Amino acid sequence: MIYLDNAASTAIDPLVLDVMVDALKKHFANPSAAHRLGKIQRKLIDEARSKFLKRLNAPDGQLVFTSSATEANSTLLLGLDLKSGDEVLYNKADHPSVVQAVESLSDKGIQVISVGNRDDGLWNINELSEKLNAKTRLVCLCHVNNQTGSLQHVERISKLLKAFPDCHFHLDGMQALGKVEVDLSRIGADSYSVGAHKIYGPKGIGALYLKEGVKISPLLLGGNQQNGLRSSTENTPLVLAFEKAFELIEAKREKIYAHCLKLNEMIREMLEEHAEISITYKNNETVPHILMMKVEGISSDIILRHMEEEEIYLSSGSACSSKIKGFNPVLHALGLPEKSHKFYLRVSLGQHNTEAEVEKFCSYLIETIDELKGFLP
């Protein structure tokens, strides 16, 4: 099997699994319980939270554990104290958990305004600067785009927003964590959402960072856990597994980056001469872990089926939007014509991929395209 869909989800690290299974066996009590078993779990969760914040270089902030990065985004975007007439700036090319949550704010009379992208896939900061004003209360985007791999200039945006102290800056860091350094003190974001299953951790656990002083209303009501910001019994095994996954990925992040860069460059070199294949963005505009390409004239669904027969797994875009056929809102927001949307593929690399796998993928992709060309009108 060749798995090239790491931007959708990653295989859980055996060491992370060991931590989770051990915690499932030992730490079954409720962390809110007043007895000793509950207090032990409370201490473990608090220690994991402190370690997590330290790795983010944000020791004075809050960290709210959630069930996913999607929940973290909704908790922040729907929990801010925004009023009718306030303005929100966002990027329509971002993940639907950001886009749909933001666009739902218009039901409350909030002005939701999209900022376009440049030809290289990056957010148009000049347009952002023009649209910022005294009414802007929220700017949000994905640190790394899940479909294109575009690495946004978040520090430039943060510096721009210093002139607007009443504006909250939120970043979805789901695809950035474990791929690039996430130093929140340097980045200057007011909030940051992450999840475990993109960094070789388990599904079902995410987190929302809140800068010191940021206030939000909770999305979930009930037992007032996590300082009242997320009612629900904390899942100790998943929290400990997430923290372990973050520890492990940070220890080898730079090594994995270099490894994925080498594999990315191999793919580009092997495919660049093929007439039907065009790679959308240059390496210096994206993280090397995610590579988007277009195969002219052949539907990605057909190519994916042929690949699957050889046990090669990749995707045509975000797994969260895989049931949407034809029209792709991300590609549309990037200015790519709708008639070409069905031709795009996403290859996403990870620590377990090898040069031999990349060579086999490229060879079989070329072979498949050449075979299918004979059936084109």
Q: What is the mean pLDDT of residues 105-120?
A: 95
144 φ/ψ angles, rounded to the nearest 5 degrees: -125, 130
Lowest mean pLDDT of 155-159, 242-246, 333-337, name the range. 333-337
With the CA atoms of 273, 276, 282 and 288 taken in that order, what torsion angle do they form, in degrees rounded to the nearest 10? Answer: -90
Lowest model confidence (mean pLDDT) among 79-83, 171-175, 320-324:
320-324
Same domain, 101 and 205: yes
Same domain membership, residue 189 and residue 278: no
Same domain, 178 and 85: yes
CATH of the domain at 333: 3.90.1150.10
| Same-domain pairing of 238 and 105 | yes
Extended beta strands in 173-228, E state: 191-195, 206-210
Does the pLDDT of residue 171 top 60, yes or no?
yes
Domain boundary among 224, 248, 272: 248
Quote helix, strand, coil % in the chain, to nearest 5. 40, 15, 40
Report the distance separating Cα 72 and Cα 98, nearest Å: 10
Nearest to 3 by CA among 369, 356, 348: 348
> What pLDDT digit, counting tens, does each position of 269-303 carry?
999 889 899 998 887 889 999 999 999 999 999 99
Which pair of tokens denotes residue 237?
């095994």
pLDDT: which is higher, 226 or 319: 226
Q: How many CB atoms lie within 10 A of CB 265?
A: 13
> Which amino acid, one-letter code, is at 114?
S
Instruction: Check if the beta carbon of residue 216 is closer than 8 Å to that of residue 80.
Output: yes
Total number of domains constituting the chain: 2
Q: Other CB atoms closer than 10 Å to residue 25's CB: what's the count? A: 9
What CATH number does the domain containing 96 carry? 3.40.640.10
Percentage of residues of the chain with pLDDT beyond 70: 96
What average pLDDT is seen over the chain?
Answer: 94
pLDDT at 217: 95
> Where among 248, 271, 294 does a domain terminate?
248
CA distances from 24 to 127, 247, 255 (A): 49, 20, 31
Residues 356 and 274 in one domain: yes
Pair 258, 243 in one domain: no
Q: Are residues 265 and 315 in the same domain?
A: yes
Same domain for 279 and 211:
no
User: What is residue 284's predicted lDDT score, i.e. its pLDDT?
Assistant: 82
Which of 213, 248, 283 finishes a domain?
Answer: 248
How far apart, in whole angstroms, are the C-alpha atoms of residue 262 and residue 287? 12
Name the residue range of residue 177's domain: 14-248
220 shares a domain with 357? no
In a shared domain, residues 193 and 262: no
pLDDT of the residue at 207 = 98
Q: Kindly state whether residues 205 and 276 are assigned to the same domain.
A: no
Binned at pLDDT 50, 70 and 90, residue 266 comes out as very high
Residue-wise pLDDT tens digits, 28-52: 999 999 999 999 999 999 999 999 9
Mean pLDDT score, 345-364? 98
Pairing between β-strand 191-195 and β-strand 206-210 as defined by DSSP bridges: antiparallel
pLDDT at 319 over 90: no
Q: Are strands 290-295 and 277-279 parallel, antiparallel or unpaired?
A: antiparallel
Lowest-confidence pick of 137-146, 214-223, 267-276, 312-321: 312-321
Q: Model-level pTM?
A: 0.95
